[in-house]
Amino acid sequence: MDLWVTVGVLLKRWYVTLPLLALVGLAAVQIGNGIVPTYSATATGRVYCPEQALDPVTGEIVDSNRFCADRASSDLAVVGAVNLNSRLTRVDVADQGLIGDYVVDDTDASLSLVYVTAEGENEDDVIATLELSMAIFESYVDGEQNDGVFKYTAGALDVPTQADSISSGKSRTQIIVVVAGLILTTVAVHIFDAALLTLQRRRDDGRDSTADEDAPRPGDDQPSSPLAAARDGEPVDQEGDWEQARKLFDDEVEKLTSDSSRWGR
């Protein structure tokens, strides 16, 4: 389809094109507003060594814990992550009206770190889910140890107060709607234009047929030949036609006279 022909048809049928374009724009806005943005945030939990430790040489309790066992803290981080990832914990979180399908990442458990990521349509629910998950992580780590002076603790190293808005595809969806609307508008206007042209052509053909039927035919209002006019006794306008008709008439009279004489003999 030629571009300029298409543009010409759209401009020619502007009274159809403009309303359709308005509907396309309205549909794009409505669909875009119906797409709810998604929020995402990540909290970091960490296992901390005891503030005090028992000096293995002197047997005395020291405040500076230079004897912290990294293996113990990483193991506790893994235990806390496993419990956070359990189905029972997720159900408990969801029962509180929060996001139960959060993501737990323990790839840095060797550093005593655990990450929890939550995504949802409500930013407050995302933040509340992270805060609750960190509290659960802390309780699990604490529950894995016996009461005593030298206890490992867990807490939130970082809990964001705001969530990031993830691209919801709103702009992309609106662009798709507009492009599809333009294509449908072009097709609809061309169909409308073709229908009008077909109707106009049929009307013109009907008028031509009526004109042909109303046109005078030979023998209706005028003689088909000068001879017929002479026989009917009708005047002939042209002098040449009159002479020809008179001659033909005289020939016919002479022929009839000759035939009558022959029969009379």
The predicted-structure confidence for 187-209, as pLDDT tens digits, reads as follows 999 899 888 888 888 887 776 66
pLDDT confidence of residue 42: 94
How far is residue 68's CA from residue 152's CA, in Å, rounded to a whole number? 9
pLDDT at res. 40: 93
Rounded distance between C-alpha atoms, residue 247 and residue 92, angstroms: 124
- Quick one: which of 196, 12, 17 has its CA closest to 4? 12
What is d(CA 103, CA 119) in angstroms, rounded to the nearest whole number? 9
* Whether residue 67 is found in the same domain as residue 130: yes
Tokens for 192?
């409308």
pLDDT at 263: 44
Nearest Cα residue to 89 out of 69, 108, 112, 116: 116
Asked if the structure places residue 209 within a domain, the reply is no
Q: Per the structure block, which two tokens stand in for 91?
A: 């159900």
Structure confidence at residue 95 (pLDDT)? 93
Q: Is residue 210 part of a domain?
A: no
- Dihedral angle sign, alpha carbons of residues 120, 123, 126, 129: negative
Q: How far apart are CA 48 and CA 73, in angstroms?
A: 7
The pLDDT of residue 185 is 92
Cα gap 91→136, rounded to integer Å: 13
| pLDDT for the residue numbered 60 | 57
Do 149 and 52 meet the contact criterion of CB atoms below 8 Å apart? yes
pLDDT in tens, the chain (265 residues): 578 888 888 888 889 899 999 999 999 888 888 777 889 999 999 888 776 555 555 555 555 545 455 667 788 888 889 999 999 999 999 999 999 999 999 888 888 889 999 999 889 999 999 999 999 998 888 887 776 656 778 888 888 888 888 766 778 888 899 999 999 999 999 899 888 888 888 887 776 666 555 555 555 555 455 545 545 555 545 555 567 667 776 776 677 666 555 544 4
Distance CA 102, CA 217 (A): 93
Say if 212 falls within a structural domain: no
Q: Does the residue 54 lie in any domain?
A: yes
- 43 and 149 together in one domain: yes
Give me the pLDDT at residue 94, please: 93
| Radius of gyration in angstroms for the set of CA atoms belonging to the chain, rounded to a whole number | 51
**Residue 17 in contact with residue 142, Cβ under 8 Å?**
no
Q: How far apart are CA 173 and CA 28, in angstroms?
A: 8
- Measured from the Cβ of residue 97, the count of other Cβ atoms closer than 10 Å reads 11
- Residue 44 counted as domain residue: yes
* Residues 6 or more apart in contact with residue 75 via CB below 8 angstroms: none
For the chain, the domain total comes to 3
Query: Which residue range forms the structural domain that includes residue 117?
Result: 36-166
In angstroms, the CA 111 to CA 105 distance is: 13
Give pLDDT, residue 109: 82
Question: Can you tell me the distance from the alpha carbon of 171 to that of 174, in angstroms, rounded to the nearest whole number?
Answer: 5
Same domain, 85 and 200: no
Same domain as 162, residue 45: yes
- 177 and 259 co-located in one domain: no
